[in-house]
Structure 1
Amino acid sequence: MGKKLGIVPILFFIFGCPTLWASQSAQDPMIQQGVTSRWSFIERCYQNQVDQGLVGDGKVVAGFKTNEKGRVTISWIESSTLGNQLVERCIMTQFRKLKFEIRNGRPIEGRYPMVFAVTQAKSTPRQHVLSNNEIKQLVDEAVQKTWPKFRKCFVREQISNPKLTSGEIVVQFVVEESGRIAQTSVQKSSLHNENIETCVVQKFDTIRVSGRLAKSIHGIYPITFTVEP
């Protein structure tokens, strides 16, 4: 039985101005690398609709299939809470331009969740604010390094509890100015498994982002654990 972990980050800022936040999912490195190559185009589509006041916060799950050579031949929107067809069509178009490095010659069928948010934060005069890309890069790099540890929390529990099913844990935390993550706690969980929840919180508290931040950042991080046959 194969097991796959998906992580979708959302950050809410304490200081700054209205900020666009569009986040990818931390998944298989091959899939992640491919989507990252088209990510700026997807962000631009979303930003254009935000500028016109036609879209707000939401989550989109894109589905895709490849041929034997790794080129995406079919893409679709599995689910969406954005309610904006232009952004959704843009996502499908960008996914159809993807090509993955397939080693075994077998086609891939996958799902890729994306979270989009426009957040309004409190302004502080003369306060330097990290750009969206800087924050995203710092947090994503840190989470990618810790990802195998999150997955191990779930896999280890499933060995002793074969009836364990897919679910999501949402943790809330603070990234301090020093780059240390602290005050991690479970905001909500559909797994209802204290062992996994405690393990995830402990792993989050070991994360440090590279570099110093201008101000502390409060974050919310949904972690989706999926069991696939």
Structure 2
Amino acid sequence: MQRNKKSGSKRVHRSHHIDKDAIVETIYPAVIKMVGKNIFRVLPPSENFEFDPEEDEPTLEVSWLHLQLVYELFLCFLESPDFQASIGKKYIDQRFVLKLLDLFDSEDPRERDFLKTVLHRIYGKFLGLRAFIRKHINNMFLRFVYEADSFNGVGELLEILGSIINGFALPLKQEHKVFLVKVLLPLHKPKCLSLYHAQCNQK
């Protein structure tokens, strides 16, 4: 079954590169469904409960070659000049984004790097999802600071927020001031601050 999914992804990937006009309206639900079926999953618990990201090697995803192919296809789809957000928003919705955000806790840094790029593309193309994305990233940070023992994707999400903040108009809105005081500053408290200190202080 895994082999069938992989070969199917390869066919779509190749055809996408061969025909630049392949992105017609009927392909949107098929691509989004395929992406969801392949990447959305419950992440396994860490095998090393005393894992130290500064000392230990991360647990890499065993099916990464397959996942990488799907992520690459999705990015090609989103970045295509033929992609239309007005159609895509029917399928890339809040529920899709929430599942995407959950994957940022993946221990595999390769997956988190792809997720960072995918979420950034979605944020740029779907204006109606921007406030929702910011709100839920904020919630994830608050949960990490006050409730969770660890969260693997802090650095990547901070990189995304860094580029978002650079695009904020002056003077800052109240929402952005609240983020600075209630979310960004508390991120300096956890013991693992050194893992994302550079992103926390990016300009």
TM range (shorter): under 0.3
More strand by share: 1
Greater RCO between the two (CA within 8 Å, min separation 6)? 1
More helix by share: 2
